[in-house]
Chains A and B, each alone.
Chain A
Amino acid sequence: DAGITQSPRHKVTETGTPVTLRCHQTENHRYMYWYRQDPGHGLRLIHYSYGVKDTDKGEVSDGYSVSRSKTEDFLLTLESATSSQTSVYFCAISEGLSYEQYFGPGTRLTVT
């Protein structure tokens, strides 16, 4: 988890409310990623960023948006949370798109 922090670490929210998760890195890596991890599905890529203001969709992007206004910060927003978005969310960073990735400690989100 060196150089990567996620906040909050735990959150419980109600269906229909907006939620923003934050990832902060001190490694100055160009690429940042958001994954969700669910039993039986493994890690699934939601969105990734290849630079400030440069983002792209991953495998499971519906219902999520991202923003990156600074190299060190990558935000994931659930505009209107649903119970299907209950999951553990991991941020990761890498120097290149196909390089090894380093993960943060995760955020456990429960949508009731």
Chain B
Amino acid sequence: QKEVEQDPGPLSVPEGAIVSLNCTYSNSAFQYFMWYRQYSRKGPELLMYTYSSGNKEDGRFTAQVDKSSKYISLFIRDSQPSDSATYLCAMSDYSGGGADGLTFGKGTHLIIQP
């Protein structure tokens, strides 16, 4: 049973569109949520992190957590070709125990068409 599900895509949208990326999870203990952006042949880069439920905004990016539905989202407004990348979600229960630390989704490949 996979703990974190993420549609691999590719998701292709025109420049300027609003993009919605999502992850679902099964572990109700998760309370710390992150989004990473990974360009081709580069390391993942931390984009956003949130604690518990609610929204967090940073420029064109908004992270949203709905713990009741076990569902997290990343919205990108006014999408640009430079946003084309793979986006990975990650989460943890903050317990500090176990070998896993963070649990990652497999990533969604996003393509912004000029």
A103, B100: Cβ atoms closer than 8 Å: no
Chain B residues within 8 Å of A99, by CB: 32, 92
Q: A1-B43, A90-B44, A102-B46 are in contact. Are A45 and B100 (CB under 8 A)?
A: yes
Cα–Cα, bound, A41→B43 (Å): 16
Measured CB to CB, the closest approach of chain B to A43, in angstroms, equals 5
Give the number of residues in A that approach B within 8 Å (Cβ atoms).
27
Chain B residues within 8 Å of A101, by CB: 46, 90, 101-102
Kindly identify which residue among B49, B98, B104 contacts A43, using a CB–CB cutoff of 8 Å. Answer: B104
How many inter-chain residue pairs (CB < 8 Å) link A and B?
Answer: 64
A105, B43: Cβ atoms closer than 8 Å: yes
Task: Check if A53 is an interface residue, CB within 8 A of chain B.
Answer: no
Q: A42-B106, A48-B101 are in contact. Are A98 and B43 (CB under 8 A)?
A: no
B96, A98: Cβ atoms closer than 8 Å: yes
Task: Check if A57 is an interface residue, CB within 8 A of chain B.
Answer: yes
4 additional contacts (CB under 8 A) given A56-B99, A98-B95: A42-B107, A45-B101, A58-B100, A99-B92
Q: Could you list some 22 contacts between A and B, CB below 8 A?
A: A1-B42, A1-B43, A40-B106, A41-B106, A43-B88, A43-B104, A56-B99, A57-B99, A59-B100, A97-B97, A97-B98, A98-B92, A98-B95, A98-B102, A99-B92, A100-B102, A101-B102, A103-B45, A105-B43, A106-B41, A106-B42, A108-B41
Task: Tell me the A residues contacting B by CB distance below 8 Å.
Answer: 1, 31, 33, 40-43, 45, 48, 56-59, 90, 94, 96-106, 108
